[in-house]
A = this chain, B = another copy of it.
Amino acid sequence: MKNSTQKQPRSLVHFKNICQEAGVKCTQQRMKIYSELIQNPNHPDAETVYKKVKKQLANISLDTVYRTLWLFKDMRLITTIGPSRERTRFDPNLNPHHHFICTKCGLILDFNSEQMDTLDIQESLKAIGTVGSLQVQGICRGCEINDKIISD
């Protein structure tokens, strides 16, 4: 399967095109799942997407939802939040610090940053809740090197 690297609008309009370019079929299930994602602001998990889509496609199966979500991720149509397919990670360090999280391999590194410590938490964020630590999500050096080797 080809990876589609271009960004696309968050709408169904071009969904068919995107599928064509990626060389995958544009099925009812895939359309409804993508549609649900762009309408749901809550960053749902697979189960939640399943329950919602099931109202429109009564006999869709949960495994199709899982397969479709990971397919979308491969296509770069969506992203995932936090380390990929990970379980809860535990941290005994109670001192203020930040985390670098590799979304590919799940590596988590502590780091300190005066700049981030002294961030002026903007008013809009204060309204959402009380801010604890910061996490920087990215791809670690090791995974970058691996990717390069594979794509060469």
User: Interface of A with B (CB < 8 Å)?
Assistant: 7-8, 10, 34, 37-38, 41-47, 49, 69, 72-73, 76-95, 99-103, 107-111, 113, 115-116, 119-120, 122, 124-125, 127-141, 143-144
List the 4 closest pairs (A to B, CB-CB), nearest first. A129-B140, A135-B135, A37-B92, A43-B108
Query: Is A137 in contact with B132, judged by CB distance below 8 angstroms?
Result: yes
Tell me the complex Cα distance, A91–B48, Å.
13
Dominant secondary structure of chain A at its interface with chain B? mixed
Tell me the complex Cα distance, A53–B69, Å.
35
Query: Is B82 in contact with A83, judged by CB distance below 8 angstroms?
Result: yes
Provide the residues of chain B in CB contact with A91, threshold 8 Å.
37, 43, 78-81
